[in-house]
Structures are given as C-alpha cells and as structure tokens.
Amino acid sequence: MNPDVLFFFETVISGLMAGVMYALVALGFVLIFKASGVFNFAQGVLALFAALTLTGVMEKFGLPAWAGIIVTILVMIAVAWLIERLVLQHLVNQEPIILFMATIGLAYVIEGTGDILWGSNVKVLDIGLPQGASDFLLDNYNLYVEKLEIVAAVTSAILVAVLAVFFQKTRIGRALRAVADDHQAALSVGISLRTIWVVVWSVAGIVALVAGIMWGTKSGVQFSLSLIALKALPVLILGGFTSIPGAIVGGLIIGVGEKIAEIYAGPIIGGAIENWFAYMLALAFLLFRPQGLFGEKIIERV
C-alpha cells in the first residue's frame, strides 16, 4: 500500500482510539446530566479516584485484578451514596447552577480524599490488559495500532449498548428521564429522587472506573488524569449534553479531527494544534448548532 495512504489510516485510527478515550469520560457526564440536569464537574476526578482506588487496593492488599475491580465498584457505589446523602439531598429543586457549583466543591473533596488515602505519586496500573502494538495488524497490514486502544474501543461499544438499553427500554430509564425533566413532578408521581440519584451516580462512577482503567493503563495513574474532564467538555458540546450516542460520535470526531489537524495542518500553521483544536470546534458548534449533533433542541414557550 502507498505509504502516504497507510500513514493517513494510521492517523485516523489513532485519532479514533483517542476519541474513544474522550468519549468514555464524556459518557459519565451525559449520564448525570440526563438524570439531574447537572453538569458534573467532578466526573474527571471520579475517574481519577476510581483508578487510584483500584491501584491502591491491588497494591496494599495484594488483590488480583478482578477482585480489585469488584472492590472498586463497591467503593464507587458507596461514594455515590455518600454524595447523595451529604450533598444532593440538600439541594433538591435548586437551580442547576447551584448544583454545578456543588460538584466543583465535590471535585476538590474527592481529589483530596484520594490523595490522603492513596498518596500523590504516579502509580502504574496493570490489570493485565494487553499492551503494545497489535502484531496481527502490523504483520498483515503494516498498521501500527495499540492493543490497549482496541480493548478500549470494544469496551466502550459494549458499555454504550448496555446504557442505551438501560435508558430507553427500562422503567428506571424512564424514571431517570423524568427526574431530568422535572424534579417536583417526578416526586409527585412517586419516583424517589434519592434512589435515582444513587443509581445514576453509581453508574457514572462505574463508567469513570472504566475510563480510569483505560487512561491509567495508558499513561499511569496521576493527578493530571482529572484534567481529561476538560477534553470531555468540547466532546459534549459537539455531541449534545443529553445524548449517549452523541458522546461517542463527538469523542470520535474530536479525536480524529485533532490528529489530522496536527499532522496535516501542523507544518503549515504551526504545531500543538491538538491542544486547541477541540475547543475551536466546540466554539464553532456553539455558534451554529448550540444543541450539538444529537442534543434535544430546547423550545421555550414565551
């Protein structure tokens, strides 16, 4: 194959894989936004905390990876319960901006707790996910693709499928959407906000764990992990805050877009495009399609 074409494919594939990683984080945001209309600033920190907890329990108690994951899931559920108990419960029917501010505070509390519990040094996370390039693709097609990224893509696909069914087809999904629309009305028909919030924050915590595992395996568990939340923001603007498929498509577009821009436009207009491309794209979307690709258009009757 023509080396230029091959190189283009490699660029696109590595972009897609990076996009999957962004999408994983964005997914956690969408879940909580759908169920409570809150932009959860703490989502990135949740991913960090989950990864820290996983490495922590594996190191300190010498647990095998599967046991470590189960323990971490339980911890994330406990965290969700605590967040509901200590924060959200007291903010029922408040303006979204107040809940948003609360999640900012929450982010610092969770980050600090992670630091106290597990220390702030960079940790290696190895739960036995395959590392390195896929030999099969390298030998047969001369394509360089990380095995880990393939695992991340497959995992995300499964996660999205499960969540989509959960939201659209089940009674609790309907209850979640109801809560997202109107707290008071949801209460009046007998939906317990507390249960819903614990469920949705637990699910967001588990999604954060998946994201934390993937990012942690790739670049070590470090506190800068919580900053990937910033990359999720343009993904959400692109995909729409309320759409699970939107989070995925938005992530992929940004992943591929920034890689292509970096490699093909970089030499012309200068490097480091990767750092700002996503935000420029988000800005363009805000101007021309503020609800994103898949978001619900909000029609206000006046």
Binding to another protein by residue 174, rule CB under 8 A?
Answer: yes
Nearest to 225 by CA among 10, 31, 46, 14: 46
**Structure tokens given for 38:** 């809150």
Binding to another protein by residue 272, rule CB under 8 A?
Answer: no
Name which of 12 and 187 has its Cβ closer to another protein.
187
Name which of 92 and 127 has its Cβ closer to another protein.
92
Question: How does DSSP classify residue 37?
Answer: S
Binding piece for another protein, criterion CB under 8 A, among 115-123, 128-136, 145-153, 189-197: 189-197
Binding to another protein by residue 182, rule CB under 8 A?
Answer: yes
Compute the least distance from the CB of residue 196 to another protein, in Å. Answer: 10
Binding to another protein by residue 185, rule CB under 8 A?
Answer: yes
Binding to another protein by residue 31, rule CB under 8 A?
Answer: no
- Given candidates 3, 188, 267, 288, which one binds another protein under the rule CB under 8 A? 188
Name which of 62 and 190 has its Cβ closer to another protein.
190
- Given candidates 48, 57, 83, 175, which one binds another protein under the rule CB under 8 A? 175
CA atoms within a 13 Å half-sphere pointing along the CA-CB vector of 90:
6
Name which of 169 and 270 has its Cβ closer to another protein.
169
The whole-angstrom separation of Cα 139 and Cα 175 is: 50
Owner of token pair 């207009």: 269
Spatial neighbors of 133 by CB under 8 A, at least 6 apart, are: 144, 145, 146, 147
Compute the least distance from the CB of residue 172 to another protein, in Å. Answer: 5
CA atoms within a 13 Å half-sphere pointing along the CA-CB vector of 51:
33
DSSP letter string, 137-150: HHHHH----BHHHH
Binding to another protein by residue 170, rule CB under 8 A?
Answer: yes
Q: Are 290 and 66 spatial neighbours (Cβ–Cβ below 8 Å)? A: no
Binding mask of the shown chain, residues 68 to 107, with x at each position contacting another protein by CB under 8 A: ----------------------------------------
Sites for another protein among residues 194-213 (CB under 8 A):
199
Compute the least distance from the CB of residue 93 to another protein, in Å. Answer: 9
- Given candidates 166, 220, 260, 266, which one binds another protein under the rule CB under 8 A? 166
- Given candidates 120, 131, 142, 192, which one binds another protein under the rule CB under 8 A? 192
Binding to another protein by residue 171, rule CB under 8 A?
Answer: yes
DSSP letter string, 255-291: HHHHHHIIIIIHHHH-S-HHHHHHHHHHHHHHHH-TT
Q: Are 213 and 27 spatial neighbours (Cβ–Cβ below 8 Å)? A: no
**Structure tokens given for 274:** 């990767």
Nearest to 157 by CA among 77, 231, 252, 254: 252
- Interface residue list for another protein (CB under 8 A): 165-166, 169-172, 174-175, 177-178, 180-182, 184-193, 199, 242, 296, 299
